[in-house]
């Protein structure tokens, strides 16, 4: 698979088959992903893998955890301005339209949002943490690592969905994976084989045109 093909065909997948992913494959993909660039070669990613029997244990634990949780961070700026606000709105509208969940159907939308906390049915996942001493430059390194992983996963026939929704469940996640206090949760990553019959996986998101976000300086 060419890099450009992988970049173009990667999409967030939100329904998976039950087909298991061996630990060895996840390890191989993560090790390859660690070739991602990072400022000062700090490699600031800290990864906790949830696979096979651990997945059922985790989902059960998650379901039974009733303590209120403090979010790890604000997922979006409070007063998101344009054009970001519209992009965010459009992806949601597109998704709910594919699923035929109406604008007024708050319960339907909420139910779909909760699918995040089942990893959308993926059999495998990981959580990406970062040391609290790290700042914005190192957080961007996490993004490079995660994108590298998603592309390599695609090459191996797997699909993924990065999930910052887990930020609102950071206390239960931290407790389950036994992450030390100095680490904070950035996001989850659902991993598995896409369910080709699931409508939600038909979602192909838009991108704003080049001229809106790039400038050749003269």
Ligand X SMILES: Cc1cc2nc3c(=O)[nH]c(=O)nc-3n(C[C@H](O)[C@H](O)[C@H](O)COP(=O)(O)O)c2cc1C
**Count, residues near ligand X per rule CB under 6 A:** 12
Cα 151 → chain centroid:
13
What stretch of H or E contains 160? strand 159-163
> Of the listed pieces 44-52, 55-63, 96-104, 162-170, which binds ligand X according to CB under 6 A?
162-170
- Cβ-proximal residues to 122 (8 Å cutoff; 6+ apart), any chain: 16, 161, 190, 191, 192
Provide the mask over 187-206, with x wherever binding to ligand X is found by CB under 6 A and - wherever it is not.
x-----------------x-
Helix axes 106-114, 84-98, angle to 10 degrees: 90
- Using CB under 6 A, which residues numbered 72 to 101 contact ligand X? 91
Strand partners, 130: 45, 184
Strand-by-strand arrangement of the 45-51 sheet: 45-51, 124-131, 183-192, 159-163
Q: How far is the CB of 120 from ligand X (least distance, A)?
A: 7
DSSP letter string, 99-158: TT--TT-HHHHHHHHHGGGGGGG-SEEEEEEEETT--HHHHHHHHHHHHHHHHHHHHTT-
Q: Which is nearer to ligand X, 56 or 205 (CB)?
A: 205
Does the footprint of ligand X cover residue 161 (CB under 6 A)? yes
Q: What is the C-alpha to C-alpha distance for residues 195 and 27, in angstroms, rounded to an integer?
A: 23
Nearest residue to ligand X by CB is 165
> How far is Cα 101 from Cα 16, in angstroms, rounded to an integer?
20
The verdict on 170 binding ligand X (CB under 6 A) reads no
Binding residue for ligand X, selected from 16, 48, 99, 116, defined by CB under 6 A: 116
The 121-140 site mask, x for binding ligand X (CB under 6 A), equals: --------------------
Nearer to ligand X, 22 or 83 (CB): 83
Residues 14-53 that bind ligand X (CB under 6 A): 14
Q: Which stretch binds ligand X (CB under 6 A): 1-9, 23-31, 129-137, 157-165?
A: 157-165
Note the residues at the interface with ligand X (CB under 6 A): 11-12, 14, 91, 116, 161-165, 187, 205
């Amino acid at each position: 698979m060419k890099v450009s093909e992988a970049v173009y065909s990667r999409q967030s997948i939100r329904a998976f088959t039950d087909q298991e992913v061996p630990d060895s494959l996840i390890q191989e993909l993560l090790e390859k992903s660690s070739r991602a660039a990072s400022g000062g070669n700090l490699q600031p990613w800290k990864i906790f893998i949830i696979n096979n029997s651990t997945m059922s244990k985790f989902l059960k634990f998650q379901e039974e955890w009733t303590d209120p949780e403090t979010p790890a961070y604000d997922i979006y700026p409070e007063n998101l301005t344009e054009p970001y606000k519209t992009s965010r709105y459009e992806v949601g509208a597109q998704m709910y339209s594919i699923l035929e969940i109406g604008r007024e159907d708050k319960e339907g939308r909420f139910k779909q949002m909760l699918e995040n906390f089942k990893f959308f049915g993926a059999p495998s996942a990981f959580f990406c943490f970062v040391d609290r001493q790290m700042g914005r430059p190192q957080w961007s390194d996490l993004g490079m690592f995660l994108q590298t992983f998603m592309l390599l996963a695609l090459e191996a026939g797997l699909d993924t969905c990065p999930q910052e929704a887990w930020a609102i469940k950071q206390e239960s996640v931290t407790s389950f994976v036994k992450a030390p206090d100095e680490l904070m949760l950035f996001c989850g990553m659902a991993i598995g084989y896409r369910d080709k019959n699931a409508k939600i996986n038909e979602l192909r998101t838009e991108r704003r045109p080049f001229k809106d976000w790039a400038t050749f300086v003269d």
